[in-house]
Amino acid sequence: MNISIIGLGKLGSPMQAVMAHKGHKVVGVDLNPQTVAAINSGRAAVKEPHLQEMIDGSRERISATHSYEEAVLATDVTMIMVPTPSGPDGRFLMTYVMSAAEQIGAALRKKAQWHLVVLSSTVMPGSTGGTLLPALEEFTGKKCGQGFGLCYNPEFIALGNVVHDMLNPDMILIGESDERSGAILEKFYQGVCESNPRIKRMNFVNAELTKLSVNTFVTTRISYANMLAQVCETIPGADVDVVTSAIGCDTRIGQKYLKGALGYGGPCFPRDNVAFSALARTNGAPALLAEATDQLNRRQVPRLGAMILAKLPEGGTAGVLGLSYKPDTGVIEESQGVALAKYLLQAGARVVVYDPDAMENAREQLQGRVTFASGPAECARQSDVLAITTPWPEFKKLTPQDFKRAAGKAVVLDCWRVLPRDKFEGVVEYLTLGYGPVPKADMALAAEGD
């Protein structure tokens, strides 16, 4: 199949490579000349694991252009993967989608053959059928379902795992204008996906609601685990990892996203939760659970910052290991590590930071205000109190020797339990989230042993 993709950013570029890898000829459209030049020269336009190797194996089926008309006229399906930024009230804006629709429509007006348009950007419920569909009919001069088809088909992926997630999704979600459009897209994904996912076809509104609901539900799980961690910290002998491991055995609950640690971040989870809340309020059905989830998430950085400041000696340095919002990506949108560094700076602390992949992205926000360490060991050596805020595998290589100092013990706040407690206790003051104080009986036994 010949496919065109509008928008070659963090998701559009991997989508192009994955589809080309599966044998489809894929033309990408982007207004950024550097992006188009990179793709046409065989280079990945964004940084994502396994993307470059997938491009290398599919070079003859991958191209890019600035011209919507060239791409649409040469293909059978056009997928829209442009940003839908959040407005002042948290609702997603259709500005870029509508701009793309106008260009796609103008090209389709010149095309005699039936064409499928697929919207993959996250939008508010009612947008695909209520805004995009009538606009395409106006711009094309054709009737949806006759001259062209329309589907809403958002992705469920995580940056740092985009290639894997696109090949191995749990579910393919299709909102369809008509049976023909949905059937074509279903057959297409049956040939692309390697995980034999469940394919759910429905109308536009239900698909739009499903996309928002999935991410809102996941954020609720994350915030529940973080709430539980905070409760555990008040109870002697409590351990959030022990508790979540047990409750996750219940098939009604499961293990995923049940790690009591820091708040969620990134370009999707925070804003999707806010958008869902905004939708519910507008419709007179407040999403109180989603609002509480967001409030609890916003409390995580101040909570962590207060813990660090309480341990920080006068004139001391606080370290932040992890600036990306998750491992295997350099993205810092809504990053807990970056937010923590800013919180500590505002409190007047000296701050040193390190991240394997997000240093350059963080410089614009933190330049001249923090010290950028050359590696995790250097960050540890410079820190009186060190917080591990992103569970990068590289941080597991830290040793107790990296924390030894001439006077006093360094404090390590291991938010994700990356380091082995038994190797670091005694060398540092080892703290973690979700772990209650040692029971008095155990303290007494330890004292007797001494």
CA end-to-end distance (rounded Å), the chain: 73
CA distance 379 to 211: 39
CA distance 179 to 202: 10
Range list of H helices, 196-268:
204-232, 240-247
Q: Which pair of tokens denotes residue 239?
A: 């351990």
Which tokens sit at 132? 């995009």
User: Measured between alpha carbons, how far is residue 249 from residues 225, 242, 253, 254, 396 in Å?
Assistant: 15, 11, 7, 6, 27
Q: Which residues are catalytic?
A: 268
Single-letter amino acid code for the residue at 225 = A
Q: Are strands 171-176 and 148-152 parallel, antiparallel or unpaired?
A: antiparallel
Q: Rg of the chain over CA atoms, in angstroms? A: 25
Report phi then psi at 335, rounded to 5.
-70, 130
CB 44 within 8 A of CB 54: no
Nearest to 28 by CA among 50, 45, 49, 6: 6
